[in-house]
Amino acid sequence: MAVSVMESRVSTEEVPPDDRIAYWEEYNARALVGLTCSSYAEGGLLAQQTNLRVGGLRLADIQGNEHVIERTPRTCRDLPKESVFASLVLQGEAVFYHSGGCLTINAGNLILYDTARPYLFGFSTPMRKLLLDIPREMFAERFRSPFLPAPIALSTDHDSPASRALRSLLLGLAKERGPDGADDLALELLGKLATERVGDRPASPTRLLHLVVAKDYIERHLHDHGLSSGRIAAALGISVRHLSRVFEPEGLTPARYVMQRRLTKAKEDLADPTASHTTVAEIAHRHGFADQAHFTRVFRERFGCTPGAARPA
């Protein structure tokens, strides 16, 4: 039985090239979210979108050529939208800019982001994505948090039941097929996918969400010598004390977790035969160690050998 119902479908193909941007912006403001759009394609913006209702959620199937969409601070004020979006990129390469930095998005990635906060989503190649629009009240009920602290990029390429099921569910819903209760199932699978990101640790939905965001932020800033618990907490909009509670299921303090991730990544580089011409000092610096002597000491404490001894013979 079809559980997704098509609400509208649109294409810019029959629109005069000079009018396509305005047409796309006006349609999205009514059907999905207020945004500004730019296209650098020679023939102008060629895009199509199908919007469907899935219980309490909405699903947009969006395809197009190279283009950029943006929700500026002014757009967020003038055209408010109280949702969290989950965009599964099926085709294309993109960048996602937000106040905390930049994410690189490839086919197979799913990115969660809050429409109340400014962002820019730019595709440098032809693209297709399935966008799940989660009203804020439904997101808050599921994750016990009204806002998403920061964007999260999750991979659905790895072979796990949750990632396979979520991708299959969204593709089916885009074709107006799916199980009864598909909206609840989609949210459940998103939660499971987030849990896979942090490991099977007992935690409340809110702490799980904060832990996923914190680990994502740490992974993208390991190279930064100034990465600290204060910086991580600020990126999430929580206190340092609360951040420590978020990491309790890991059995580590945030600072210790950062150190372990830096050492693990450094060891991987040292063991990589293709990095044989990269010096130990360069590898240490790449992973946020400002002092090579300190790096050597903590590396030996963690792995029982010097960085040099960890390199292939």
Classify burial at 104, counting beta carbons within 10 Å of its beta carbon; exposed 0-12, middle 13-18, buried 19 or more.
exposed
Query: At which residue do the structure tokens 């016990």 appear?
Result: 144
Q: Is there a contact between 298 and 263 (Cβ–Cβ < 8 Å)? A: yes
The pLDDT value recorded for residue 157 is 59
Half-sphere exposure of 207 (CA within 13 A, CB side): 15
- Averages of pLDDT over runs of 10 residues in the chain (313 residues) are 81 94 96 94 92 94 96 95 95 90 87 93 95 93 79 72 86 87 89 68 65 84 91 85 86 91 93 90 92 93 92 84
Superfamily covering domain 4-209: Jelly Rolls (2.60.120.10)
What is the residue extent of each domain of the chain? 4-209, 223-313
The pLDDT value recorded for residue 1 is 43
Distance between CA atoms of residues 25 and 116, nearest Å: 18
Q: Is there a contact between 290 and 222 (Cβ–Cβ < 8 Å)? A: no
DSSP string spanning 183-247? HHHHHHHHHHHHHHHH-S----HHHHHHHHHHHHHHHHTTT-TT--HHHHHHHHTS-HHHHHHHT
The pLDDT value recorded for residue 205 is 64
Beta-carbon contacts of residue 53 (< 8 Å; ≥ 6 apart): 4, 5, 7, 59
The pLDDT value recorded for residue 201 is 53
Task: Tell me which residue of 93, 53, 54 sits closest to 187, measured CA to CA.
Answer: 54
Query: At which residue do the structure tokens 């990115």 appear?
Result: 111
Full-model pTM: 0.72
Supply 78's token pair: 């003038």
Distance between CA atoms of residues 238 and 127, nearest Å: 35
Cα dihedral value 122, 84, 147, 104, nearest 10? -30
Query: At which residue do the structure tokens 């079809």 appear?
Result: 2
Distance between CA atoms of residues 235 and 231, nearest Å: 6
* DSSP state, residue 144: S
* DSSP state, residue 250: G
Distance between CA atoms of residues 59 and 227, nearest Å: 37
Task: Tell me which residue of 67, 83, 153, 68 sits closest to 117, measured CA to CA.
Answer: 83
* Residues 124-133: tens digit of each pLDDT: 999 999 999 9
Look up the CATH number of domain 223-313. 1.10.10.60
